[in-house]
Structure 1
Amino acid sequence: MDDERRERLRYFGFAAFVGVLLLLNLAGVWKTVFGIDTAAILTVLAGYRIFYNSISALLEKQLSADLAICIAVVAALAAGEYLAAAEAMFIMLLGEGLESYAAGRTNAAIRRFVEQMPRRARRIVDGAETEVDAASLVPGDLIEVRASERIPADGRVESGVSSVDESAITGESLPADKQPGEEVFSGTLNGAGLLRIRVTRAGEETTLARVVALVEEARQRRAPVERLADRYAKYFLPALLIAGAVTFYFTRDWLRTVAVLLVACPCALILATPTAMVAAIGGLARRGILVRGGAVLQLASKIDTLVFDKTGTVTEGRFEIVALLPLNCGEDELLALAAAAESGSEHMLAKVIQEEARARGLALPQPDEARVHPGRGAECRFGERAIRAGSAQFLESHGIGGGQPLLEHADRLGATAVLVADDRRLAGAILLRDRIRPGIREAVSELPGYGIQHLVMLTGDRRRAAEAIAREIGIPHVEAELLPEQKLDRIRQFAAQGRQVAMAGDGVNDAPSLAAAHVGIAVSGASDVTAEAAGVVYMGHSLEKLPRLFDVSRRAVNTAWQNIILFAGVVNLLAVLVCAT
């Protein structure tokens, strides 16, 4: 058990101890210790941190609603209302503990993710393979990564060809084809090929380790949110303290002065915001939008810039066929040829093609032989007849050209082209693209009506694919091919320009940006790390309700201000005047 978790358990154990003693006092079982009311002792035990922080803030010439609570508690103790004072401090103690628990959940999510990393690696020395701890790898080591294994360190491919799922780092929805000389990242998932990799970064220096560190750094650098109650207390408290002093000066009546201070206790001031926020948070939860507290809702009410990730956020991370482009054959024949060629492949695009062929009821004869060429394509044979499907380079290596017009068509759609050849004849192309998430078009069109003036897409995906998707859903600004730290830099740049920034994402590569944004929004399907780094978790698959977050947050803050002015201001002031006269 780590020190942070142990400290949190001690804190809640102490809170439980105080709570039990408070209940015993309330039941009359244990009223005094050495002649002192146990409630008075519990007030000091439960509230020593709040007393200390309030005195420190006062010495720094800062006023807060917590200071008002301390003044009210001292007044209650002076008036002999020990139980009321203890109850108030116990509630504050629990509140502090819950804040600590929320922060601890983020760290726990990061730990869970890091624990998924491979603990062992295969190091190659003089041609011999040795299994070692992944933590012992150093730059210059040669390692071997087999099919379906995670890569334990950053490096460059020395031999082998494969496809690697890099979505955790780059956000790219398609596996990246890797061949000798190309870079690979720790934590990414190798496909069907065997790779030998020369380590360039290991341990805390890897790209994945830096992503995890960026999440923690961004969370710690986030400026604390000033509560509405604290903002109002700066003006409200001096007036109340003056009222108490004036009352004592003119009446010389200590009990009347205590009554003024008790009435002035800003219960309404402190409850004005939570009552509005709790109602708003409950309403959003019924819509499938989970908000982590009133502070997040306050920030959401000010957002003017909303940044979207692409893969898994505005798209589903699942591919679909958007066009069949046959040459001298029918669409069904083209699809059947591609499905036959891909019959031995487990690639994401191969599965989509095979599923579409089955959905159309196409007859798919069993080939005599099927082969997969990782990172390039696949082929099958029926006797002497060869059917091939894959990249333009794969077909060109077999003397089959003429695919450039088809590739240009795919580029215009932001799609990926799978070229298909029947022996030496180019049969056409199948264009596939990440499926757009339902409701995103409607959400993007509504957001400007709720004060969102700037809509931006930041993605690690290819520029042409990102621009095509953004154009289709109505996002005007796109930055593509970004690494996690580059996304984080852009979020910080927006904030430095005075913008109030929200970021919506789902992948581990988005987590640092979500933690750094004023409001991070983890959409459905988000990783544990991303969800815990975010202030808002959007549960629904369709994004059509996303604008409700900003609508409800603005109305909740307006309601909170109305509550503060009406109840904490007018009503408390009248009550003080009544007690003072």
Structure 2
Amino acid sequence: MIDEITDFLFGLKMTIVSGIFLLIAVIFMIFGVNTPIYLNPAWGTVIISGIPMLTLAMSRLIREKWISSALLIAIAMVASLLIGEVFAAGEVAWIMALGAILEDWTVERAKKGLKNLINLTPRTGRRIINGNEEMIFVNEIKIGDILRILPGESVPVDGEIVRGTSSLDQSIMTGESLPIDKEVGDEVFCGTMNMYGAIDIKATSLDENSSLQKLIDLVKAADEKQAPTQRIADKWATWLVPVALIIAVVSWIVTGNIERGVTVLVVFCPCALILATPTAIMAAIGQATKYGVLIKSGEALETLGGLNTLVFDKTGTLTYGNLEVSDVISLNEHLTDEDLLKITASCEKLSEHPLAKAIVNNANEVKIQIEEPEEFKMYPGKGVTCINSYGRVYVGNSKFLSENNIHINIDSQLDKLKHEGKASIIIALNGEVIGLIGLSDVVREDSKSMIDKLHDLGNETILLTGDNTETANYFAAKVGISRVYGNLLPHEKLDRIEKLKNDGKNVCMIGDGVNDAPALKTSDVGVAMGSVGSDVAIEAADIALLGDDIGKIPYLKKLSNSTLFTIKANIAISMTINAVAIVCSVLGLLNPVTGAIVHNAGSCLVVLNAALLYDRHFDDSVKIMDTESVEHSHYHFHNDGEHTHSHDHVHIINEIRTDNGIKHIHAHKHAFRRQICKTYHS
């Protein structure tokens, strides 16, 4: 009951009411309105803000054996009341309440992400008994049950394929950009998506032992490890309280004037110190929001400035996470690359496989006329075949072509694509291999420059990814990261983060997927890609890049460094003012009322200094994001070595204004599993 009342009085609405009472008292003082002490408006402030503050101080002292800054302020308040200085008592109580509200606003952290993660767990499964299907709840599934997973369905439990072949999207667990082909004997994970072809699996682990549940548990455990940050004034209160009391008592004894001792207590209150951190953090968070960065935790902003190691996920973070045709390699002298793309797209036209859709989409973009296939057949996890005007076509992996008695002698080309982190599709015509098509994720244009800037600031960069090591090394080399770890599951990413922290590293993790959530939670600071990132990753992270602009990472580092400098400057200002005011109090130059005014002026100076952080400029390459309506724009884009010029009617999402008034607008045109970057000039 007492805690509920305290929380209510410390709330925003009651603090505003408390401030109104204090303002009325100030107005009475300015205009010389004299009232009996018991009718002083500052009593309203003392009751609303002072009583809960006194309760908080005594609770921390008695229950938690914690000498906090609230105790010193409570002593000053009580001492002021004992000598009849109600305004001084109300002033220190209200500043304390205001500081508490600002602090709460800067450390609040959303926890909806865990709920979103739990919602990913399938609720039902399709069990096969004596050849018959029945839908049952997941908690009714037993080890050894045979379950059927149709295309588009999620895997309800961990299991092993006993019948059928397919491709599964495992990005929830590994972050891999490519679907993984699965056949009899392969393991499948709970929560992953069956993309193509029906499969039967045998349940191997249930409920709390499933891979998805373990991922949920990792996020829970990482969240519980995050301890709240004490205010800096509270950290110093252990010695502030006894020093203030000693100076006040000595001043009283030496001068024989109790008013001087009380004035010392009033000016000694660390209210400016309390405001030093939250006001600077609020200004920095406000500025970051202008630039499309959501900072959910003041603690994260403080911590970021001291970080020396930044760890990146690959897919969706350093890359766009969308497949696109990267190589069209004709091995037949009578067929051009365009012919090869036409033959392949015709055969893949009716396929639902993501790689097939990327190829068809690419053919459409370069305006190739795609034929309707005849006698089309698909073989899940292997490939497709059809007849078109060129003859009998086979498109798929090496195993598929070998099963159809087609000789393959292109190991060097396949190895080259593999070393470059690309998926490869082999095309055969009338029993002879005629070419290869490579597909790859696309590196973000600003990834390399961003990594270079971080290196210039003295930071180490590391890549952690669920992709295979060869793919990881290829993309890491393109952006300038030398330390790479591939083939990592979520718990292995988390283990790597913890090992770095145990080695004395201060770690920032940047990622976008569900599989990154435990690592984002465990790292000192987690940064998520806000637009393409999963809700779980965004909620697990401390910072979200709303426009997916990875180039803002160096800006964030500079902002955090400047915020730390402002906090230290505020602390120095507040301590200097307090020291001067203490000397003046001992000499009798200040009384409790004038001391409270000086004390309040120090707090205002700290707030004004913090406010300057809001409009500070850190990086010419980072511009304010604005919203624009539909307009007609000229654009160009680079596509497979050729430049194409066109006009397009587009909806501009983000506009970046430069100082000279020219608008450079960066947008993305999305097609199925392909993303074209365009620069608009208007």
TM-score by length of 2: 0.76
Name the residue aligned to 1:554. Answer: 561
Change beyond 3 A, Cα 1:166–1:393: same
Which of 449, 457, 479 is the matching residue for 2:485?
479
Amino acid paired to 2:167: S
Which of 112, 121, 127 is the matching residue for 2:125?
121
Name the residue aligned to 2:369. Answer: 363
Distance 1:522 1:83 in 2: 43
Distance 2:560 2:458 in 1: 12
Distance 2:104 2:55 in 1: 12
- Please give the secondary structure, in 2, of the residue aligned with 1:191: strand
Which of 413, 416, 424 is the matching residue for 2:423?
416
Amino acid paired to 2:469: R
**Identical pairs, percent:** 33
- Please give the secondary structure, in 1, of the residue aligned with 2:177: coil
Deviation of residue 559 (structure 1)?
Answer: 2.2
Change beyond 3 A, Cα 1:489–1:70: farther
Name the residue aligned to 2:208. Answer: 204
Distance 2:436 2:465 in 1: 26
Name the residue aligned to 1:248. Answer: 252
- Please give the secondary structure, in 1, of the residue aligned with 2:289: helix
Name the residue aligned to 1:195. Answer: 199
Given that 1:343 and 1:370 are in contact with CA atoms closer than 8 Å, whether structure 2 keeps it comes out as no
State yes or no: 1:523 paired with 2:533.
no
- Please give the secondary structure, in 1, of the residue aligned with 2:306: coil
**Mean Cα displacement is larger for which, 288-297 or 375-384?**
375-384
Name the residue aligned to 2:219. Answer: 215
State yes or no: 1:426 paired with 2:433.
yes
Deviation of residue 481 (structure 1)?
Answer: 0.5
Given that 1:414 and 1:468 are in contact with CA atoms closer than 8 Å, whether structure 2 keeps it comes out as yes
Change beyond 3 A, Cα 1:69–1:352: farther
Given that 1:11 and 1:97 are in contact with CA atoms closer than 8 Å, whether structure 2 keeps it comes out as no
Given that 1:341 and 1:379 are in contact with CA atoms closer than 8 Å, whether structure 2 keeps it comes out as yes
Distance 1:149 1:370 in 2: 24
Change beyond 3 A, Cα 1:96–1:295: closer
Name the residue aligned to 1:135. Answer: 139
Change beyond 3 A, Cα 1:428–1:135: same
State yes or no: 1:403 paired with 2:410.
yes
More helix by share: 1
- Please give the secondary structure, in 2, of the residue aligned with 1:59: coil
Which of 173, 194, 197 is the matching residue for 1:169?
173
State yes or no: 1:457 paired with 2:463.
yes
Amino acid paired to 2:160: R
TM-score by length of 1: 0.89
- Where does 1:382-397 land on structure 2 (aligned, <5 Å)? 382=388, 385-397=391-403
**Mean Cα displacement is larger for which, 169-178 or 239-248?**
239-248
Distance 1:341 1:80 in 2: 86
Name the residue aligned to 1:342. Answer: 348
Give unpaired runs (5+ residues) of structure 2.
Answer: 25-36, 588-682
**Mean Cα displacement is larger for which, 481-490 or 16-25?**
16-25
- The 4+ residue runs of structure 1 with deviation greater than 6 A are 7-14, 23-28
Distance 1:8 1:177 in 2: 57
Q: Deviations for 1:381-412, whole angstroms, at most 9, x for unmatched residues? A: 23893212121111111122123222111022
Deviation of residue 164 (structure 1)?
Answer: 0.8
Change beyond 3 A, Cα 1:86–1:574: closer
Amino acid paired to 1:324: V
Given that 2:309 and 2:508 are in contact with CA atoms closer than 8 Å, whether structure 1 keeps it comes out as yes
Distance 2:372 2:9 in 1: 66
Deviation of residue 484 (structure 1)?
Answer: 0.5
Given that 1:46 and 1:90 are in contact with CA atoms closer than 8 Å, whether structure 2 keeps it comes out as no
- Where does 1:73-84 land on structure 2 (aligned, <5 Å)? 73-75=77-79, 77-78=81-82, 79-81=85-87, 83-84=90-91
Amino acid paired to 2:423: T
Distance 1:8 1:330 in 2: 77
Given that 1:76 and 1:84 are in contact with CA atoms closer than 8 Å, whether structure 2 keeps it comes out as no
Distance 1:261 1:126 in 2: 83
- Where does 1:4-403 land on structure 2 (aligned, <5 Å)? 15=11, 40-43=46-49, 46-47=52-53, 50-52=56-58, 54-55=60-61, 59=65, 63-75=67-79, 77-78=81-82, 79-81=85-87, 83-84=90-91, 87-88=94-95, 90-91=97-98, 94=101, 98=105, 102-103=108-109, 105-106=110-111, 108-233=112-237, 236-328=240-332, 329-382=335-388, 385-400=391-406, 401-403=408-410
Amino acid paired to 1:440: S
Name the residue aligned to 2:550. Answer: 543
Given that 1:154 and 1:202 are in contact with CA atoms closer than 8 Å, whether structure 2 keeps it comes out as yes
- Please give the secondary structure, in 2, of the residue aligned with 1:241: helix
Deviation of residue 539 (structure 1)?
Answer: 1.9
State yes or no: 1:469 paired with 2:469.
no
Amino acid paired to 2:191: G
